[in-house]
Amino acid sequence: MNNIIRCAARGVFAAKDGARSVILAAGGGVPCLCCGRPAYRLPVCGSCLRVQLHPELPQKNRCRLCGRELLSEDGLCMECRRAPVFSAVTRAFSLFPYVFWYRELLYAWKTHGERGLSGVFARELYRLFRAEEALHCGPDVLPVVPVPPRPGKLRMHGWDQVHDLAHALECRWGAAVHHMLKRTGGAQQKTQNRAERLSRLSGAYTLCKKRVPSAVPQAVILLDDIMTTGATLESCARELKTAGVETVYAVAVAAVP
């Protein structure tokens, strides 16, 4: 099923890439991934940037553990009641659900190298940090710890999405960023199902001891691009707690419902 979805996604983007080429040749921009109207600098038009990529904050009606939107549950979603993934993570937050055109937008960002979206997502993440009381202390947001890429990714592709987000948060909004973690395995987790991800929690990430600050922050924001099962975030949070971090809030651009 996952292979079918991936093939379908490739087909959708192949068709959209063709449409983009036609429109670009006519000097009319590219089709917005959300509404289909012409877009220019990014694969989403200005109207959708202002509305669809500008979520209402602070967030309401969310699970107080995984941060996913609640339907009828009170406080905790059914997943977190039945088999919670998080124990080291105090609470998770995400900007968007990883569905429909949001999924296509994340796919364009991660796979098609639409790096201009990094600044857009970073801006909305900073808004989230400022809006959620847990994620800032006075005028400053909590220190940010990015989830590291798999070994060799930067060398192979020249960039990493989470690194881009952290860089923008640091340079444009003055967030303190600590690259305290490193990844020990090279397998792509997008090829693993839920059971495989959960079974590989232990040892996938470790501390980069030379980058751990002498004054370890009491609370941090652990930053990732997409939260699927939460296994990556939980593994990283466990490592951060061995360094002396007391509270870990996980934040992702998007989360699988």
Give the integer Cα–Cα distance in Å for 134 and 162: 21
Give the integer Cα–Cα distance in Å for 247 and 217: 9
The answer to whether residue 93 sits within a structural domain is: yes
Give me the pLDDT at residue 156, please: 79
Give the integer Cα–Cα distance in Å for 217 and 244: 8
**Residue among 174, 161, 173, 172 at smallest CA distance from 223:** 161
The answer to whether residue 23 sits within a structural domain is: no
CATH code of residue 227: 3.40.50
For residue 65, the SS3 value is coil
Report pLDDT digits (tens) over 236-248.
999 999 999 999 9
Q: Measured between alpha carbons, how far is residue 92 from residues 117, 179, 194 in Å?
A: 22, 19, 18
- 135: DSSP letter: G
The answer to whether residue 184 sits within a structural domain is: yes
Report pLDDT digits (tens) over 76-94.
999 999 999 899 999 999 9
Give the integer Cα–Cα distance in Å for 118 and 200: 29
The answer to whether residue 42 sits within a structural domain is: no
CA angle 111/112/117 to nearest 5° reads: 95
Determine the average pLDDT of the residues in 201-223: 91
The answer to whether residue 99 sits within a structural domain is: yes
pTM: 0.84
The answer to whether residue 14 sits within a structural domain is: no
Give me the pLDDT at residue 201, please: 58
The answer to whether residue 242 sits within a structural domain is: yes
Give the integer Cα–Cα distance in Å for 4 and 101: 18
84 lies in which domain range? Answer: 55-255
Give me the pLDDT at residue 29, please: 84
The answer to whether residue 38 sits within a structural domain is: no
Give me the pLDDT at residue 25, please: 39
Beta bridge partners of 255: 97, 227
Residue located via tokens 């900073």: 126
Q: How many domains does the chain have?
A: 1
Give me the pLDDT at residue 157, please: 78
Report pLDDT digits (tens) over 194-208.
556 666 656 789 999
